[in-house]
Amino acid sequence: MLVSSRSETQVPASPGHSAGVSRSGLAYAIAAYGLWGFLPIYFIALAPSGPVEIVAWRVLFSLVFCALLILVTRAWRALGLLFRDRRIVLTMGLAGVLIFINWQTYVFAATTNQVVEASLGYFINPIVTVFLGVFVQRERLNPTQWTAVGISIVAVIVLAVGYGQLPWLALVLAFSFGFYGLIKKRVGPKVDAVSGLTLETVWLAPLAIVQLVFVAMTTGITIGTVSVWHTALLIGLGVVTAVPLLLFAAASRRLPLIFMGFIQYFAPFIQFLVGVVILQEPMPPERWVGFGLVWLALIVLTVDLIRGVQASRRVIAEPA
C-alpha cells in the first residue's frame, strides 16, 4: 500500500452516495491512467532502440525494480509463499505470456506511428471483457450489454473496411489484455501488484535474454551506445511499468467500481490525442465513424454500469 488509508481525505458524498469518495483514490487512479496514456511518447523517445530490445529491457528492469521494492518493503516471505504455490506460479506464467504479447504489440504500435490503432485496442477492451464473460465465464448479458457488443462488432467491421483489413493491432491488444485480466481475476487478492509483476517477469526473463541475444546478433544493442539520457530512459522502463500498476492497485482499494470504470477511459483517450494531435496520424472519415461507434458502445456500457450500481444500492438500502 502506498499510503495508509486511515489518513486519506474524503470528498463529501453526493446524494446518490452513501459514503464519500476518496480524494487520494481519485488521484491515484488519474495518475495511473495518465501515465499509461503518455507511454507512447516514452517509447518513441527510446529511438533508435527497436521494439524487441525495448520490451526485453522492460521485462528485465521491471524485475529489478520489483526486487528492490520487495527488498525495501521486506515482502520476501510473502513472495516466497507464492513461489511454493504451484498453481499460482503456473497461472502467473500464463499471465506473463499474455502481458508479453500485449507489451510487444503496444511498443511495436508506438514505434511505428500506429498509436491511434493502439488506443482503439484499449477503447474496445471493456467490450472484449464483456465478450469473454459470456464465452469463458458463461455469464449472461442483459439487452443493454448485448446492444453494446453489437455496436462494437459493427465498429470493427467499419474500421476493417476503412483499413482494408481487420485492425489486428487493436484486436491483439484488446484480447491479450482481456485474457490477462481474466487470469488476474482468477488469482484474485492472493497476488498483489508487485508480487504479480515479479512472478510474471521471472517467467519472462529468459525470453528477454534470448531477445537481447538476437538483437545483439542482428541490429546491435543500443543501451549505453547512444547517450546517457537514452540509457537512463531504458533503465527507467522498470519504473514506468511498475509505478502505474501500484497506483492502480491503490486506487482500486479506495474507489467504487463505477469510478474506476469511468477513469479507465483516460488512458486510451490520451493515447488517441497523442496519435492524432502530436504524431498527426491520419484520421479518414471511416476511421472517425468506427471510433464514434466504439465510443457509443462504451456509453451504452457505462449507462448499464450506472444502472447496476444504483440497483445494488437500492437493494442494500431496503429494510430486511
Model pLDDT for residues 28-58, shown as the tens digit of each residue: 888 988 999 999 999 999 999 999 999 999 9
pLDDT greater than 70 at residue 113: yes
Model pLDDT for residues 234-269, shown as the tens digit of each residue = 999 999 999 998 888 788 777 776 667 677 788 899
Q: Quick one: what percent of the chain has pLDDT higher than 70?
A: 88
Q: Is 92 inside any structural domain?
A: yes
pLDDT given at position 315: 59
Q: Give the domain range for residue 201.
A: 22-317
Q: Is 2 inside any structural domain?
A: no
Please give the residue that has the higher pLDDT: either 271 or 15: 271
70, 259, 315 from 196: Cα distances, Å: 12, 24, 35
pLDDT greater than 90 at residue 94: yes
CA 266 to chain centre: 11
pLDDT greater than 60 at residue 201: yes
Q: Is 207 inside any structural domain?
A: yes
pLDDT greater than 60 at residue 2: no
pLDDT greater than 60 at residue 10: no
pLDDT given at position 237: 95
Q: Is 291 inside any structural domain?
A: yes
122, 125, 146, 165 from 265: Cα distances, Å: 8, 10, 20, 25
pTM: 0.83
pLDDT given at position 311: 66
Model pLDDT for residues 61-87, shown as the tens digit of each residue = 999 999 999 999 888 888 888 899 899
Q: Is 7 inside any structural domain?
A: no
pLDDT given at position 104: 96
Mean pLDDT to the nearest integer, 202-208: 96
pLDDT greater than 70 at residue 14: no
Please give the residue that has the higher pLDDT: either 236 or 12: 236
What's the count of helices (H) and strands (E) in the chain, helices before strands? Answer: 15, 2
Model pLDDT for residues 303-320, shown as the tens digit of each residue = 877 777 666 666 555 554
Q: What is the mean pLDDT of the chain?
A: 84
pLDDT given at position 61: 96
pLDDT given at position 257: 62
Mean pLDDT to the nearest integer, 276-288: 90
Contacts of 49 (CB under 8 A, 6+ apart): 57, 222, 223, 230, 234
Q: Is 86 inside any structural domain?
A: yes
pLDDT greater than 70 at residue 272: yes
Mean pLDDT to the nearest integer, 212-228: 94
Tally the domains of the chain: 1
Q: Is 37 inside any structural domain?
A: yes
pLDDT given at position 312: 62
Q: Is 6 inside any structural domain?
A: no
Separation CA 171–CA 265 (nearest Å): 17
Inter-residue contact 237 to 78 (CB < 8 Å): no
97, 182, 185 from 133: Cα distances, Å: 21, 9, 12
pLDDT given at position 18: 38
Confidence of residue 7 (pLDDT cuts 50, 70, 90): very low
CA 82 to chain centre: 23
